[in-house]
Structure formats: C-alpha cells, structure tokens
Amino acid sequence: MKIEYTPSQAAFADAVKIFAKERVQRYAAQIDQDACIPPQVIQAIIDEGYIGSMISEEYGGMGADSIKIGILNEIIGGACSSTRGLLTVHGMVSLALQRWGTPQQKNNWLPKLAAGQLIGAFALTEPNVGSDAKSVETTATETKGGFLLSGTKKWITMGQLADLFLIFAQFEGKVAAFLLEKGTPGLQVQPLGGLIGARGSMIAELNLNQCEIPKENMVGKPGAGLSHVALPCLDYGRYTIACGNVGLAQACLEVSVQYSRKRKQFGEPLRKFQLIQKQITEMIVGVEAGRLLCQKAGCLRDAGDPDSVIQVWIAKYHTSLMANQVANAAVQIHGANGCSNNYPVERYLRDAKVSEIIEGTTQMHETMIATNSIRKY
Amino acid sequence: MEQYASTIRKFLGRFFKEDISDSDNFFELGFVNSLFAMQLVMFLEKEYAITIGNEELEIQNFNSINAITSLIERKKGKGAS
C-alpha cells in the first residue's frame, strides 16, 4: 500500500492550485455577493479543459482518473464552492451520457459538453420530491415523434446557466431520463435566490409546460432512469462534493493558522493558546481523515469496485460533517472578525452547511451506510 | 454456466442472506434496492470484463441468477469486452 500521487497526479495538483488561486479564488467573495459566476471564471475553466475533466479523451475531454477528479474538486472547492458546483453538475450530465447514451447521443452531445460549448445541469429534485426520488411528479408522455415533458424541477444547480438539462420524469409508471435543451418551447427558467450558502450556484426552478423533445432524447431505458442513470450521476456528484468539502476545510485551516499567527491577545499570538491549538489540531485531523476517505473512494471508483458506492457515501458523510465542524471552528478562532464578510470564514461556514443537504442529506447517508453495514457484519 | 452462477451467488450473499433458487426474482422478493442494481452492473463489468450497454438495460436481464448468467453468456458469446 502506497499513499502518494503519481507524478502525473502531482503535476496536475500543482497546476490546479495555481489556476484556482489566480482564476477562481480572487472572485469567490464577489461570486457569493452577486450570486453569479462571472463569465471570465467559466471561460477560464473551459479554456483550461477542466470543464471536460470527467469526459473521455475520445470525445475531446481530459479523461482524468478519479484521483485527478478528486484533486480538481478539492482545490476548486477550496477556492469557491459555487464554482465547484459547476464541475459537479456538468459532470453528472456528461457521465450519464457517456455511460448510458446511444452512440448517436454520445457523438452529438459529448464533444460539445467536453469543449464547454454546452453546460449541463441535473434536474431530479422537485417542489414535492427530494430524498424520495422515485416519486418524481414530472411526466413524460409519448407522441408520434418523441415525448412531451411537463412538471416542475426545483433547486437545480446551474439551472440559470445550463444549455442542456437531464430531466427525470415518470413515463408509463416508471422513472426515465430525458435530455431537454434550453430554449425548448414551454420551458421557463426561474432564478432562485436567498440561499444560505453556495450562493453562486445559479440555482433555478424549471417549469416544463408540455416541452416537446425528440424520441432520441431519452437516456437509458424506462425503469432504469433512477437505478442506472441517476444513481451513478449522484455517485459522481457525491464524490466531487466530498472532495470539495476537504478543500473547503483545508481553506478554513489555512486561514485560521495564518490568523492565529498574526492576531494577538494578552500580548501573545493566538497560536500560543492551548485551546486554539486544540481547535487547529481537530481541524488538521478532520481534513486529513476526509482526504484519505476520498482517496480510498477514488481508488475504488477507478477499479470499478461495487464497494466504491458505499465508500463514496462514507466519504461524503464524513466530509460534510467535518467541513461544518472545521468551518465553525474557523469562525470561532476569528472571533468577531469571523462574523464579518471582510473575512472568508463566514462564507465557508454557510457553504459547508449546503453540503449536508445536496446529493443526499446527512440523514439519508446515515440510513444508507447503516443499512449496508448491518447487512455486511 | 455453473461457474458464473457460483460467483454471482457469492456476490448476492453480500446483500442478502436468504436462500434463493437460480430462477427466483430477487428484485420482486424485495431483497435488494435500486442501489444494488447499480452495484450489480459494476460487479458484472469488473468480474467478467464485459460492458453492459444501453440496449441491455432491462430488469429481466438482472432479476435472477439465471437471467444474469444468460446475459454474461450472450456478452461473452458476442466477444464483447
């Protein structure tokens, strides 16, 4: 057993760190404040090829392994959670097509998604349906040439930005997945604001009023929409969020250590106080443990191991809780300054909270991990 | 065929302890969930070096040991990998 990056992975990490610092992190506060990712950040991610990081080279993507995907999402997640969300949802749509698309669908959509000519968004959640995904109320009805989609999708990350939506709907009593292009008659995209965190996620509600799509826009088969299309997408989503949580916690750790060096009370820098040291220690251990869980999940994913699914649940569960604890400690160490948006830690804390909800709540993770473990032991 | 069935039984044993026959539909019996369906595809692709495509995404290909064995044989027979 050897826990270290390959030279290629290490070089990739170095390049992403420079990119994140220069092209993303400097905009993070503005992204949070404006609830919008500026075009130059999106274009930089496209130009660097990161938008197609998860897509195979055959279709013009980077073909990155899961460890590199983890590195990318950790470092971008440390710079800006909202921008990491773009990589997550775009990847979910891309991978659904790469895994279950017909040759025609792959050839038509994947090169455009890899090049960032199209941005994808994953549309499962609805006003009445969250964790109970099999109960989606959006419907698809067959027409002579295709399908009519009707219903409402809510809390769709990058919904304001996306060109291509992966919609999950009931079709003949089974859940199926469909591609819906922006601009389709009957589709209304309503921006949603007022989020606690990840405010730049460009969340939208989608109102589908008899949106007509061609027959070839069904992805997978009816009945496999949830089990084989949505679940692998969500598995990728959870993995990237878990890695992003590690990055967010690492950012909290770094600014807290820097602050504890500079800030003096009672004539001493904060780092000299043992209760501050305890908090720093807990942050370090939490981050290291989270990173190891993500790396294990990444290795299992690359091996195609069925246990990778539960390992991703474990990694996402741990890192979501850990990121909240670490961000909370970071605010505490910063004192009153930590409660102000002049420092980034209040944003980190708000962003961390979102990670306990998206791609499966902490409570759904507890149910799934326990069910699996009870069966196993 | 028995070699496939034996390996599949061992894999299924990780998810439920009940004895089933090779023709029992373990989805209908309620022993597994949709997450298992995804893990089963991963297992089959890794164990037998096959790629399961969109055209095989039918529950009747995966709902019993006999069905899975037939699917593997068809894939192997086609020389698919």
pLDDT digits (tens, 9 = 90+) for A137-154: 999 999 999 999 999 999
Q: How confident is the model at residue A193 (pLDDT cuts 50, 70, 90)?
A: very high
Check whether residue A109 and residue A129 sit in a common domain: no
Are both A243 and A341 inside the same structural domain? yes
Instruction: Answer yes or no: is A2 within a domain.
Output: no
Residue A340's pLDDT is what?
A: 97
Q: Spell out where chain A has E strands.
A: 120-123, 139-142, 146-156, 164-171, 174-181, 187-191, 204-214, 218-219, 264-265, 268-269
A224 touching B (Cβ < 8 Å):
yes
pLDDT at A334: 98
Give the CATH number for residue A125.
Answer: 2.40.110.10
Is A149 among the domain residues? yes
Q: What is the mean pLDDT of chain A?
A: 97
**Is the CB of A299 inside 8 Å of chain B's CB atoms?**
no
In chain A, residues with a C-beta closer than 8 Å to the C-beta of B16 are 375
Q: Is A364 on the interface with B (CB under 8 A)?
A: no
Residue B34 has pLDDT above 60, yes or no: yes
- Active site (annotated) includes residue A359: yes
Query: How close A228 gets to chain B, by Cα (Å)?
Result: 6
Domain layout of chain B by residue ranges: 2-7+24-77
Q: Specify the pLDDT at position A192.
A: 97
Q: Are residues A159 and A190 in the same domain?
A: yes
Q: A2 CA to chain B: closest CA distance, Å?
A: 23
Q: Assess whether pLDDT exceeds 80 at residue B63.
A: yes
Instruction: Give the closest of A221, A306, A376 to B58, CB-based.
Output: A221
Lowest-pLDDT range of A48-62, A183-197, B3-17: B3-17
Where on the phi/psi map is residue A267: left (φ > 0), alpha (ψ -120 to 50), or beta?
left
Mark whether A332 and A230 lie in a shared domain. Answer: yes
Confidence (pLDDT) at B3: 85
Q: How far apart are CA A316 and CA B36, in angstroms?
A: 19
- Write out pLDDT tens, residues A293-317: 999 999 999 999 999 999 999 999 9
Q: Are residues A353 and A233 in the same domain?
A: yes
Domain end among A62, A85, A114? A114
Residues A79 and A190 occupy one common structural domain: no
State the fold for domain B2-7+24-77: 1.10.1200
Confidence bin at A133 (pLDDT 50/70/90)? confident
* Packing angle, helices A231-262 and A274-302, rounded to 10: 150
pLDDT band at B79 (very low <50, low <70, confident <90, very high): very low
> CA of A77 to nearest chain B CA: how many angstroms apart?
27
Q: A13-29: per-residue pLDDT in tens?
A: 999 999 999 999 999 99
Task: Flag whether pLDDT at A374 surpasses 90.
Answer: no
In this prediction, residue B81 has a pLDDT band, given cuts at 50, 70 and 90, of very low
Q: Is A84 a residue whose pLDDT tops 80?
A: yes
Q: What is the pLDDT of residue A159?
A: 98
* Residue A369 near chain B (CB below 8 Å): no
| DSSP code at position A180 | E
CB contact (8 A) between residue A220 and residue B57: yes
Q: Which distant-in-sequence residues (6+ apart) come within 8 Å of A39 by Cβ?
A: none
pLDDT at residue B53 is higher than 80: yes
Q: Residue A375 above 80 pLDDT?
A: no
Using left for φ > 0, alpha for ψ between -120 and 50, and beta otherwise, residue A209 falls in beta
B15 touches chain A (CB under 8 A): yes
Would residue A71 count as lying in a domain? yes
Question: Alpha carbon A341 to chain centroid distance?
Answer: 24
Residue B78 — very low, low, confident or very high, per pLDDT cuts 50/70/90?
low
- ∠ CA A23-A27-A33, nearest 5°, is 160
Residues A232 and A360 in one domain: yes
Question: Is there a single domain that holds both residue A365 and residue A231?
Answer: yes
Verify that A302 and A248 share a domain, yes or no. Answer: yes
Residues 26..65 of B with a Cβ closer than 8 Å to A: which? 34-35, 37-43, 45-46, 54, 57-59
Confidence of residue A361 (pLDDT cuts 50, 70, 90): very high
Pairing of the two strands A146-156 and A139-142: antiparallel
Structural domain of A78: 7-114
- Residue A238, pLDDT > 80, answer yes
> Which of A203, A222, A241 finishes a domain?
A222
Q: How many CA atoms does the CB half-sphere of A141 hold within 13 Å?
A: 8
Pair (A253, A268) in one structural domain: yes
Q: Across residues A157-170, what is the average pLDDT?
A: 98
Whether residue A362 is found in the same domain as residue A273: yes
pLDDT at residue B18, as a whole number: 85
pTM: 0.95
Q: Do B45 and A102 touch (CB under 8 A)?
A: no
The nearest CA of chain B is from the CA of A233 a distance in Å of 11
* The last residue of a domain, from among A69, A98, A114: A114
- Give pLDDT tens digits for A203-231: 999 999 999 999 999 999 998 899 899 99
The ipTM value here is 0.86
Examine the domain organization and report whether A363 and A232 are in the same domain: yes
In a domain? residue A275: yes
Q: Residue B80: pLDDT band by 50, 70, 90 thresholds?
A: very low
Q: Does A305 touch chain B (CB under 8 A)?
A: yes
- Total domain count, chain A: 3
Is there a contact between B54 and A232 if contact means CB atoms under 8 Å apart? no
- Tell me the pLDDT tens digit for each residue of A107-125: 999 999 999 999 999 999 9
Asked if the structure places residue A1 within a domain, the reply is no
CATH number of the domain residue A295 falls in: 1.20.140.10
Report the number of secondary-structure helices (H) and strands (E) in chain A: 11, 10
Task: Say if residues B80 and B51 touch (Cβ distance below 8 Å).
Answer: yes
Tokens 């044993």 belong to B13
DSSP symbol at A118: S
A254 closest CA partner among A215, A287, A209: A287
